[in-house]
């Protein structure tokens, strides 16, 4: 596992450099979700693929930017599922973006996630890493080295509200719930990048990030293996909760395809409790 974590640290600085120096235009290809790929998406994916090609404990990799599973080392123990550059459409307006990694042992499902990590490329590079039996650790990057900054622990109740999806396509009960949080005094914080939006809630003590089922996206937008399940481990280990719209833990999801999505809610205990009440899933 240490090799994998060290590799993620190296990847962070390589992708940071690519963001600063590479062409921001579109490539000629689409990813497997049918979205146009930026040259930076392709470049970041390649950086990660090359990096894990040298790590023998990695049996296979699954990328948000690739259709299937890429086998690397037959005797490896782990499969790394990753979103190389989440929120890449925000790079051209110079907002923060990120990379997300889920490290699975065995079948690709929530209960087999053993560790996860994400990198935030913002004014500074930061990295968060977690395993099943520890608090998430925050690292700050500088001159190609990461320094541990501390543990991440969520308060029982926060005051930030990051609500995703097109509002006109929300259900009435979701809209009512989100409005009720604003009535309680919650403040809107939503950049459209899952990594910085979830990072902000984690570092500012708590709140709610939601990407619900909508009429145009009944299964949500965010991908289970690369985005939803890795962040679920981070939120739970920080003392928060992460569920879908049926009240099931996101860490118990069993994707039937690598690119399956799920409605998802991440937050402190108070907000997730309020959500269950509003959705009638308590
Ligand atoms: P892109 O990678 O296409 O920029 O999408 C980013 C993202 O997957 C995730 O980072 C955001 O939380 C979410 O989409 C935002 O989606 P909405 O704009 O529909 O709220």
Handedness of CA 18, 190, 171, 255 (dihedral sign): positive
**What is the 177 CA–ligand 1 centroid distance (Å)?**
21
Q: Are residues 10 and 98 in the same domain?
A: yes
Q: What pLDDT, on a 0 to 100 scale, did the predictor assign at position 22?
A: 77
In total, how many domains does the chain have? Answer: 2
Q: Which of 130, 151, 172 is the last residue of a domain?
A: 151
CATH number at residue 115: 3.30.540.10
pLDDT value, residue 207 = 98
Note the pLDDT of residue 162.
98
For 12-69, the DSSP string reads HHHHHHHHHHS--SEEEEE-TTSPEEEHHHHHHHHHHHHHHTT-TTEEEEEETTSSSE
- Domain containing 51: what range? 2-151
pLDDT at 26: 67
Question: Can you tell me the distance from the alpha carbon of 98 to that of 118, in angstroms, rounded to the nearest whole number?
Answer: 7
The CATH number of residue 271's host domain is: 3.40.190.80
Residue 101 is predicted with a pLDDT of: 98
The whole-number pLDDT of residue 1 equals: 74
Is residue 25 located within the same domain as residue 105?
yes
Residue in 64, 88, 163, 193 to alter for ligand 1 test, most ligand atoms within 8 A of Cβ:
193
Do 262 and 176 share a structural domain?
Answer: yes
Nearest atom within ligand 1 for CA of residue 83 = 2
pLDDT band at 200 (very low <50, low <70, confident <90, very high): very high
Closest-CA residue, ligand 1 atom 15, reads: 192
pLDDT digits (tens, 9 = 90+) for 2-30: 799 999 999 999 999 999 987 777 666 77
Residues 116-129 have pLDDT tens digits of 999 999 999 999 99
27 shares its domain with 116: yes
Name which of 22-36, 214-228, 264-278 the model is least confident about. 22-36
Q: Is the pLDDT of residue 263 over 70?
A: yes
Rounded distance between C-alpha atoms, residue 109 and residue 253, angstroms: 6
Last residue of a domain, one of 129, 151, 173: 151
pLDDT (tens digit per residue) in 29-81: 776 666 667 789 999 999 999 999 999 999 999 999 998 999 999 999 999 99
Half-sphere exposure of 254 (CA within 13 A, CB side): 2
The pLDDT of residue 32: 66
Q: Are 44 and 139 part of one and the same domain?
A: yes
Are residue 130 and residue 262 in the same domain, yes or no? no
Q: Which residue's CA is minimally distant from atom 6 of ligand 1? A: 87
> Averaged over 198-227, what is the pLDDT?
97
């Amino acid at each position: 596992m240490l090799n994998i974590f060290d590799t993620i640290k190296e990847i962070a600085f390589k992708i940071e450099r690519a963001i600063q120096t590479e062409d921001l235009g579109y490539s000629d290809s689409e990813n497997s979700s049918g979205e146009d790929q930026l040259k930076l998406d392709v470049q970041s994916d390649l950086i990660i693929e090359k990096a894990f090609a040298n790590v023998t404990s990695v049996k296979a990799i699954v990328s948000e930017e690739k259709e299937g599973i890429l086998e690397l080392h037959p005797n490896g123990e782990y499969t790394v599922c990753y979103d190389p550059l989440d929120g890449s459409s925000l790079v051209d307006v110079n907002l923060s973006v990120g990379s997300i990694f889920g490290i699975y042992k065995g079948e690709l499902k929530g209960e087999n996630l053993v560790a996860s990590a994400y990198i935030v490329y913002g004014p500074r590079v930061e990295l968060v890493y977690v395993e099943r039996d520890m608090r998430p650790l925050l690292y700050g990057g500088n001159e190609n080295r990461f320094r541990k900054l501390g543990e991440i622990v969520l308060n029982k109740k926060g005051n930030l509200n990051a609500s995703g999806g097109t509002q006109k396509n929300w259900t009435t009960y979701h809209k009512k719930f989100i409005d009720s949080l604003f009535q309680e005094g919650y403040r809107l914080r939503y950049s459209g990048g899952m990594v910085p939006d979830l990072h902000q809630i984690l570092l500012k003590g708590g709140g709610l990030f939601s990407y619900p089922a909508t009429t145009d996206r009944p299964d949500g937008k965010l991908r289970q293996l690369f985005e939803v399940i890795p962040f679920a481990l981070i939120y739970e280990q920080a003392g928060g909760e992460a569920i879908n719209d049926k009240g099931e833990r996101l860490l118990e999801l069993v994707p039937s395809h690598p690119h399956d999505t799920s409605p998802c809610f991440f937050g402190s205990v108070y907000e997730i409790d309020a959500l269950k009440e509003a959705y009638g899933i308590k």
